[in-house]
Amino acid sequence: MNEDSYDRLKTIIKPYLPEDVSVQEIDEQSHLINDLNINSTHLVDIVLDVEDAFDITIEDDELEKMDTVAGSLALISEKRAVKS
């Protein structure tokens, strides 16, 4: 795992966390909806923020890969590798 990407992703997710969930609860295995209680509307916002922050495009059929932090990081890494 790229620590920089992980930290950047946590920074992106943080504003969308409900008040009862802290950023310290985010780990690689965290499921965005089930564990972090992020609602589906905010998931769309997170995807848009990830696209901007990492200068990538995430297709609609790839969204299911972003259900966990690890899945999101893997997709980001895959997309960045293709751009290189």
pLDDT tens profile 73-84: 999 999 999 877
Class of domain 3-83: mainly alpha
pLDDT at 1 over 60: no
List, for residues 18-27, the tens digit of each pLDDT value. 999 999 999 9
31 has which bridge partners? 68
Given a cut of 60, whether residue 48 has pLDDT beyond it is yes
DSSP string, 28-40: TT-BTTTTT---H
Q: Is 20 left (phi over 0), alpha (psi -120 to 50) or beta?
A: alpha
Q: What is the pTM of this model?
A: 0.91
| Domain extents in the chain | 3-83
